Structure 1
């Protein structure tokens, strides 16, 4: 175990939002919480007191509530009963002189700045358009958009009406977007003719036409012109005019948005989150953990397909300026993202571990004098990245490695401005998160690897899954292994010095460059090819911090895995799923092992490829052809011998 790689100065700790909150608790609640560890322990021991204190401390705009926590059962916890509020009210309480959104495309294209007053005017205008289209409380509005300011405006306009938002980035293929957004039977689609990425125009008109054909519930399509291309039968984007903004006061648990799971085991699951749960969780996370406030510029490199887009938009909830960017972080130079952040005086920047590693390999030397916090999530941050950040960015920048999920649209563990950062570790569980590592028998582990569990409810846990009326899919996803306790699907270690180490997924979710993806999207493409009988894709975290994503294919009789066939498989995946879904390698195997009920053994094969013994990962008696496990065990052994 190495020592801390970053230690907050006394001045940084004293000036932090979390310290202000701790002192407020002392003054207003009479609580003697001496440090962050004591504060966290209280937050999970007394959840009603903790979350109730946040409502008062942040002065959440809403009608009075009856009880903070009327039921603590999981699933089914009931928070802030009787309260009515709207996410949008919490945003526009911060209206003032200054910039709310900076919209920056790739170099060579003009950027834009939208003031707080202009943002409010645009949101009111688009909300009026939606109202005229018949959108009402509970209706669904979806976006197939790049990460641009209009996506934020469309979301806020939707939320202000009490309608439900959902979105996909335009890097998703049309079939993948339909598989998600089409489930919601939306009334209105917001989209764009395309975007620019890596110096090239990406025309999305054909994809938009497919969405409009395949989602019969659509009554209107509103299109932003990014490339100046003609689109027939759509309403051009307009945010002109002056209209009153009157956000609807909705119940605390009224649906705000639907985020989609990666689709690991089939059709992507729609995860429904509520206005109130998101508001109170996000003001907590962004203020107390990321230390954001009105003087900050917040930029997380993300896409509307990923929960971090929603997380970045939440910067508006605490009055920060947010940055929208839809380009390649490595264009036109490997350090383009760093250069953009420096030019915009970004104080809190978020990226992926993969980008940190790529920057180191490319010899990038970033200089960001205004940067205070560098966030990294989406996959495990390797120890080498901590050291690189400390060397290149200096002691004034904290590397805030965080781990959470689309499921709760926040972090379970991460950095705290008053707590040291240890190489390869997350500083602490987040406030209000009763985090633990459990063994198979539900026993808490310390300094040992176990399943990530959360033993107390959080307000941002899903209200439900979409189209799951009796809640059985929601229950089975998180609560089937440990009844009444949330099991997330990560391997973690809770250390004896209070930090958290995440080792990767304990399930089969793919996680390429910080974006979670589903194997089902790849199978749907590959297994349509006549040469392929079946396929299996695995994402395996490596000991050196790398990530290996091979695709195994079972070939039809007489077919060979030639370079030409590999090229065609990759091209099909790139076109019908996305470029991120293209595997690192394509390998022919004699067969794919299944459970006796026909489910592909993704998790056991992943663990075999990471070096585990067959007896430790699966009972051969439960496999339809146990001999196939040897194929993957042998492959793992050969790869291990080839490594230096």
Structure 2
């Protein structure tokens, strides 16, 4: 699969000379040239990136200094070993994430706005930095009274609201370890995550709003408590009903009744900050542990250098507390930005809700998912005509590959002045290793560049580097925000199996990617759900781009059963969610023709099957691999954690199509 020649690539956005020169990225390049003697031009991103992955110690020590990382104890080295796994960053250093988020500075003075919160039903709150610091000090006192200290776990079954943020920062200030799930998670999914961590304190809400409905989860909280014998205290936020109560629980008001000192426990650079989780689509979710220092320096790098966030700017990303983008969003506090928290459905009362939010709060960096953009495109929205988006200078997209049509729609319907920041990364690194930079153009359908310090490669089965053709996405050298461990994996066996088993010495991420001659990248989907027809590999994103381009198709799921162990090539199945009133027979001939011409004759499905819905994880990802397993005869509860799904009932449609044994 070849990329378009460089001279034919369509540029959708390019920084003006003034924008590029005044960016933090250009300032960093000038700084390393002056202070470190690095021979790099301020606007030559390719050269800057080459240095960042060629001289890891030089780059990351420079980044930490330029970005203002605050050590209590200085590091004795930058990197003890470049081996993966086993790299240990900044040994000897101590610091604290919460200190970086809460210490007064540019954008973080007492009167500066720290948080703008909005709920879909109209509830709104504003927190200044003085108020945020006061709340964190109170919650910190409550945690100390509950016996929480360094290394203890604090968990939350709570939405994207101020109380969740306050409790996280309070836990981090003590050196306690944070973990959170969104309240719409099924109880088994939450149990499977939290029971591993043995928490001392649980923050919970009485319910949540979504899509115009209110959901009471107090029974879920009670059930969860029975599975967490180490709990010393449950703290209840009366999020929907001010009179809600839970026997034995402490109200948020009571928990934060006492003012407390805002102090910060200095911890080692790799001391656990939080535990994220794998998606739960392949069994018990793995607990992915990130360290204070790795997250501080990585998020400062991404938010200041790559996204150009400045003190006082408004930063929004639509997310829940069960997705790593929540962790990325709250790190906006590190750079003095005002973070905009939204809780609710992105489509309630209609798809204009988030665009209206962007207008109201003058959001500068606006982040959503690729499926949301696709929904807006299909609904023929023209946000630029309905909302004042003049403050929006960059729009982030993640969660799935953004189609070329999605890129085009953003330029036409939202604003050609807006930089499209299509990014890819994951919970594994809690960042994006592919994305954008303020000194690099945006090409149609492509991620502009690899992030600084991210040695992203496309390789073949032997690990040989590919250019302008599709290969396995690997990272060739360590990054500070790679997991310091998996939870309950003392020998590191599961971590090695997850990333390093197939290509020793290289981090295998599990995506198909194309590295172009422009140093841009295109993601084609998960490498373990790739369409392999007659030896011709193609990512599922290509397929969905064609099929979901039809107005008659609301959603789709394609499964190549070849990889299920059959000796001969298996069936290629396409499951379709059709618009109301559309018959499969009406659209199938056109789909076959479009796939034949748009992809190849080999990629025309053997069968099209209409279903009511495509099963998705709570983060919105299509369940390609679990459905593959179900089609091979694996029991649904063995193929996927039901509590990790938005719509587990959608799996029923696939039970009648067993293939193989």
**TM-score with structure 2 length normalisation?**
0.80
The answer to whether the 8 Å contact 2:630/2:639 transfers is no
The yes-or-no answer on 1:67 pairing with 2:77 is: yes
Counterparts of 1:173 and 1:77, CA distance in 2: 36
Counterparts of 1:541 and 1:600, CA distance in 2: 22
* Partner in structure 2 of residue 438 of structure 1: 459
Counterparts of 2:98 and 2:25, CA distance in 1: 24
* Partner in structure 2 of residue 21 of structure 1: 28
- Residue 92 of structure 1 deviates from its aligned partner by 1.6
The answer to whether the 8 Å contact 1:540/1:548 transfers is no
The yes-or-no answer on 1:192 pairing with 2:209 is: no
Counterparts of 2:91 and 2:448, CA distance in 1: 33
Aligned residues: 552
- Residue 393 of structure 1 deviates from its aligned partner by 2.1
CA 1:215–1:589: 2 relative to 1, 3 Å: closer
* Partner in structure 2 of residue 474 of structure 1: 495
* Partner in structure 2 of residue 105 of structure 1: 119
* Partner in structure 1 of residue 185 of structure 2: 172
Counterparts of 1:158 and 1:371, CA distance in 2: 33
The yes-or-no answer on 1:145 pairing with 2:158 is: yes
The answer to whether the 8 Å contact 2:75/2:91 transfers is yes
The answer to whether the 8 Å contact 1:84/1:252 transfers is yes
The answer to whether the 8 Å contact 2:529/2:540 transfers is no
Counterparts of 1:200 and 1:245, CA distance in 2: 38
3-state secondary structure, aligned to 2:89: strand
- Residue 540 of structure 1 deviates from its aligned partner by 5.0
The yes-or-no answer on 1:298 pairing with 2:315 is: yes
CA 1:266–1:583: 2 relative to 1, 3 Å: closer
The yes-or-no answer on 1:345 pairing with 2:345 is: no
* Partner in structure 1 of residue 139 of structure 2: 126
Counterparts of 1:205 and 1:14, CA distance in 2: 53
Q: Deviations over 1:300-341 (max 9, x none)?
A: 000110000000011011111001111111111221111111
* Partner in structure 1 of residue 401 of structure 2: 380
3-state secondary structure, aligned to 1:400: strand
The answer to whether the 8 Å contact 2:373/2:406 transfers is yes
Counterparts of 2:100 and 2:26, CA distance in 1: 23
The yes-or-no answer on 1:245 pairing with 2:265 is: no
CA 1:225–1:49: 2 relative to 1, 3 Å: same
Q: Deviations over 1:529-585 (max 9, x none)?
A: xxxxxxxxxx95452435634899xxxxxxxxxxxxxxxx999x99xx86969989x
The answer to whether the 8 Å contact 1:122/1:240 transfers is no
- Residue 149 of structure 1 deviates from its aligned partner by 1.0
Q: Deviations over 1:102-149 (max 9, x none)?
A: 110014x33000001111111111011000100011111101001111
Task: Give the one of 330, 349, 354 matched to 2:347.
Answer: 330
The yes-or-no answer on 1:548 pairing with 2:535 is: no
CA 1:294–1:589: 2 relative to 1, 3 Å: closer
CA 1:44–1:581: 2 relative to 1, 3 Å: closer
3-state secondary structure, aligned to 2:236: strand
3-state secondary structure, aligned to 2:508: strand
Counterparts of 2:166 and 2:505, CA distance in 1: 38
The answer to whether the 8 Å contact 2:281/2:639 transfers is no
Counterparts of 1:124 and 1:217, CA distance in 2: 24
- Residue 266 of structure 1 deviates from its aligned partner by 1.4
The answer to whether the 8 Å contact 2:434/2:447 transfers is yes
Counterparts of 1:581 and 1:418, CA distance in 2: 31
* Partner in structure 2 of residue 420 of structure 1: 441
The answer to whether the 8 Å contact 2:485/2:492 transfers is yes
Counterparts of 2:51 and 2:481, CA distance in 1: 19
Give the RMSD, CA atoms, in angstroms: 2.7
- Residue 17 of structure 1 deviates from its aligned partner by 1.0
- Residue 232 of structure 1 deviates from its aligned partner by 2.4
The answer to whether the 8 Å contact 2:282/2:639 transfers is no
* Partner in structure 2 of residue 614 of structure 1: none
Q: Deviations over 1:22-73 (max 9, x none)?
A: 1111221222212111000000000000000011112211121100011111
- Residue 395 of structure 1 deviates from its aligned partner by 2.4
Task: Give the one of 52, 58, 64 matched to 2:67.
Answer: 58
* Partner in structure 2 of residue 561 of structure 1: none
Q: Deviations over 1:336-367 (max 9, x none)?
A: 11111111110001001111111112122213
Task: Give the one of 307, 320, 324 matched to 2:324.
Answer: 307
Counterparts of 2:177 and 2:133, CA distance in 1: 19
Counterparts of 1:473 and 1:397, CA distance in 2: 42
CA 1:578–1:314: 2 relative to 1, 3 Å: closer
CA 1:492–1:437: 2 relative to 1, 3 Å: same
* Partner in structure 2 of residue 48 of structure 1: 57
- Residue 628 of structure 1 deviates from its aligned partner by 3.3
* Partner in structure 2 of residue 77 of structure 1: 87
Counterparts of 1:570 and 1:88, CA distance in 2: 45
Mean Cα displacement is larger for which, 71-80 or 362-371? 362-371
Counterparts of 1:580 and 1:485, CA distance in 2: 28
Counterparts of 2:235 and 2:143, CA distance in 1: 10
CA 1:589–1:311: 2 relative to 1, 3 Å: closer
* Partner in structure 2 of residue 359 of structure 1: 376
The answer to whether the 8 Å contact 1:415/1:426 transfers is yes
**TM-score with structure 1 length normalisation?**
0.82
The answer to whether the 8 Å contact 1:542/1:548 transfers is no
3-state secondary structure, aligned to 2:408: helix
CA 1:76–1:583: 2 relative to 1, 3 Å: closer
Q: Deviations over 1:1-31 (max 9, x none)?
A: 3321111111211221111111111221222
The yes-or-no answer on 1:369 pairing with 2:390 is: yes
The yes-or-no answer on 1:38 pairing with 2:47 is: yes
CA 1:600–1:357: 2 relative to 1, 3 Å: closer
- Residue 99 of structure 1 deviates from its aligned partner by 0.5
Counterparts of 1:221 and 1:113, CA distance in 2: 26
The gaps in structure 1 that reach 5 residues or longer are 510-538, 553-568, 602-626, 632-644
The yes-or-no answer on 1:592 pairing with 2:600 is: no
The answer to whether the 8 Å contact 1:72/1:457 transfers is yes
3-state secondary structure, aligned to 2:396: strand
CA 1:210–1:397: 2 relative to 1, 3 Å: same
- Residue 591 of structure 1 deviates from its aligned partner by 6.2
